[in-house]
Amino acid sequence: MSITKRGRLVAAAVAVALGGAALAACGSSEEDGGAESGPVSLTYWTWTPGMDKVVDLWNKGQGEKDRITVTVKKQASGDTLITKILTAHKAGKAPDLVQAEYQALPTLVSNDALADIGKDVGDAKSKFADGVWQQTTLGTDAVYAVPQDIGPMMFYYRADLFKKYGLTVPTTWEQFAETARALKKKAPGTDLTTFSANDSGLFAGLAQQAGAKWWTTSGDKWKVGIDDAATKKVADFWGGLVKEGAVDNQPMYTPAWNKALNTGKQIAWVSAVWAPGTLTTAAPDTKGKWAMAPLPQWSAGGKVTGSWGGSSTAVTTDSKHKAAAAKFAAWLNTDGDALTALAKEGGIYPASTSAQLSGAFATPPDYFSNQADFYTTAAEIAKTTAPSAWGPNVNVAYTSFKDAFGAAAKNRSDFSAALAAMQSDTVADMKKQGFGVSE
Closest by CA position to 192, among listed 281, 274, 261, 244:
261
Q: What is the mean pLDDT of residues 202-207?
A: 98
Q: 215-218 and 146-158 as β-strands: parallel, antiparallel, unpaired?
A: unpaired
Q: How far apart are CA 435 and CA 181, in angstroms?
A: 45
| Type and span of the H or E element at 312 | strand 307-315
Q: What is the pLDDT of residues 323-378, one digit of tens each?
A: 999 999 999 999 999 999 999 999 999 999 999 988 889 999 999 999 999 999 99
Residue 105 predicted with pLDDT over 50: yes
Give burial (CB, 10 Å; 0-12/13-18/19+) of 270: buried
Please tell me which residue, 299 or 4, carries the higher pLDDT value.
Answer: 299
CB atoms within 10 A of CB 161: 19
Query: Please, what is the average pLDDT of the chain?
Result: 91
Number of helical H runs and strand E runs in the chain: 18, 9
pTM comes to 0.89
pLDDT at 24: 34
Residue 15 predicted with pLDDT over 50: no
| pLDDT level of residue 66 (50, 70, 90 thresholds) | confident
Angle at 400 between CA 420 and CA 106, to 5 degrees: 100
Residues 6+ apart with CB under 8 A from 405: 197, 203, 415, 418, 422
pLDDT at 36: 52
Residue 238 predicted with pLDDT over 90: yes
Residue 413 predicted with pLDDT over 70: yes
Residues 6+ apart with CB under 8 A from 299: 172
Residue 296 carries which DSSP code? P
Q: What is the pLDDT of residues 260-293, one digit of tens each?
A: 999 999 999 999 999 999 999 999 999 999 999 9
Residue 26 predicted with pLDDT over 50: no
pLDDT at 4: 39
Q: What is the pLDDT of residues 133-168, one digit of tens each?
A: 999 998 889 999 999 999 999 999 999 999 999 999
Percent of the residues in the chain that have a pLDDT greater than 70, as a whole number = 91
φ/ψ of residue 43, rounded to 5: -115, 135
